[in-house]
Amino acid sequence: MPTNNDSILFPPQASTFAQDVDALYYFIHYLSVFFWVGIVAAIVYFVWRYKRGHREGVGPSHNLPMELTWSIIPLILVIAVFLWGFKGFMGMSRAPSGAEQIQVTGKKWLWNFEYPNGQQAIGELHVEVNKPYKLIMTSEDVIHSFFVPSFRNKMDVVPGRITTFWFEPTMVGEQQVFCTEYCGDGHSDMLAKIVVHTPEDYAKWVEENQKEDTTTPLPELGEKLYTSKACFTCHSTDGSVKVGPTFQGLFGKQEQLTTGQTVPVDEEYLRESILQPNAKVVQGYQPVMPTYQGQLSDREVSGLIEYIKTL
């Protein structure tokens, strides 16, 4: 993976914004170091120069040229920092008109991406290097925040509102997405990755992902989906309790619902729980699972059910 800047302070510079953001950061940093050194040196000098017994008469109480200097130079510097930062901020706020639009939905605790052709994916966005993308983002529940450190961009994702985030990746490889607004138990697991491809690899990916997988055996397909659809965020396969019931030993069990009713865990119950998760909520759990209606084919739903049966 080519990196154009290896730094111990920052993740790689993987978008068109990164260089400018880092340059401004370093400018403010070294400016602060310069003044810190100067001010500390002056303090040390004055302590020595005017210590008791060393004072030679009374110094001037007013010096116009000096006062103007220490007012005007910092003023010019803060205006420069403001203009530089404002220019960068405006550049990040407005996506170029040709940018490819991706719909992003944040919900506890996953990121859902919808491509222009309607195809959806959880936790993984595939893009092409050196092309602009505009994410149109909203939340289904609470405030989340979409942060890609290597792109040097971050934006809140707010229920009932639409916010946007654009980027042009400059580096091939996987970039990490974090949620940076505390949103509950699964906050730290609310991750996603942006996979940046070369144009050739992207074309290959599009071709492979537009045809449905009809060859992988069902339990194996389900196991893959358990990871790719981020089921693992809330459901364990080893019996441990997470946000949702564990998948271990789930099939064939009797579940007590919040309504007091008891239902057997069979194929139909699992299918309903995947597509209309809040129709039957198990006692002791919150109705927080998002629906997978429209995101899984019938064969994929069957795959998940067959996978759960093996646990």
Minimum distance from residue 107 beta carbon to ligand CUA (Å): 8
By CB under 6 A, residue 126 contacts ligand CUA: no
DSSP assignment letter at 231: G
By CB under 6 A, residue 123 contacts ligand CUA: no
Q: Which residue has the tokens 């030679």?
A: 56
Looking at 40-48, 51-59, 183-191, 250-258, which segment touches ligand CUA (CB under 6 A)?
Answer: 183-191
Prior bond of 48 cis (ω within 30°): no
Nearer to ligand CUA, 265 or 289 (CB): 289
- Phi/psi class of residue 167: alpha, beta or left (left: φ > 0; alpha: ψ in -120 to 50)? beta
The one-letter code for the residue type at 133 is Y
Query: Applying CB under 6 A, which of residues 34, 50, 86, 182 lies at the interface with ligand CUA?
Result: 182
By CB under 6 A, residue 155 contacts ligand CUA: no
Nearer to ligand CUA, 142 or 257 (CB): 142
**Contacts with ligand CUA in 204-223 (CB under 6 A)?**
none
In angstroms, the Cα distances linking 72 to 18, 28, 40, 67, 310 are: 31, 17, 21, 9, 73
By CB under 6 A, residue 137 contacts ligand CUA: no
Query: Applying CB under 6 A, which of residues 144, 152, 229, 235 lies at the interface with ligand CUA?
Result: 144
Give the E-state strand segments of the chain in sequence order.
100-107, 110-114, 120-122, 124-128, 133-139, 144-148, 153-157, 163-167, 173-179, 192-197, 254-256, 262-264
Looking at 45-53, 177-185, 224-232, 294-302, which segment touches ligand CUA (CB under 6 A)?
Answer: 177-185
Nearer to ligand CUA, 183 or 270 (CB): 183
By CB under 6 A, residue 197 contacts ligand CUA: no
Cα separation of 142 and 157, whole Å?
8
Q: Which of 223, 153, 159, 182 is nearest to 11 (CA)?
A: 153
Nearer to ligand CUA, 87 or 161 (CB): 161
Bridge-based pairing of strands 192-197 and 124-128 is: parallel
Query: Applying CB under 6 A, which of residues 114, 128, 181, 255 lies at the interface with ligand CUA?
Result: 181
Residue 142 parent element (H or E): none
By CB under 6 A, residue 179 contacts ligand CUA: yes
**Contacts with ligand CUA in 94-113 (CB under 6 A)?**
106, 109
- How many residues lie near ligand CUA (CB under 6 A)? 9
DSSP assignment letter at 99: P
Minimum distance from residue 189 beta carbon to ligand CUA (Å): 9
Nearer to ligand CUA, 110 or 127 (CB): 110
Nearer to ligand CUA, 25 or 182 (CB): 182
Minimum distance from residue 231 beta carbon to ligand CUA (Å): 17
**Contacts with ligand CUA in 62-91 (CB under 6 A)?**
none
Cα separation of 50 and 220, whole Å?
80
Degrees, nearest 5: CA angle 20-22-28: 105
Give me the residues that bind ligand CUA (CB under 6 A), please. 106, 109, 144, 179, 181-183, 187, 190
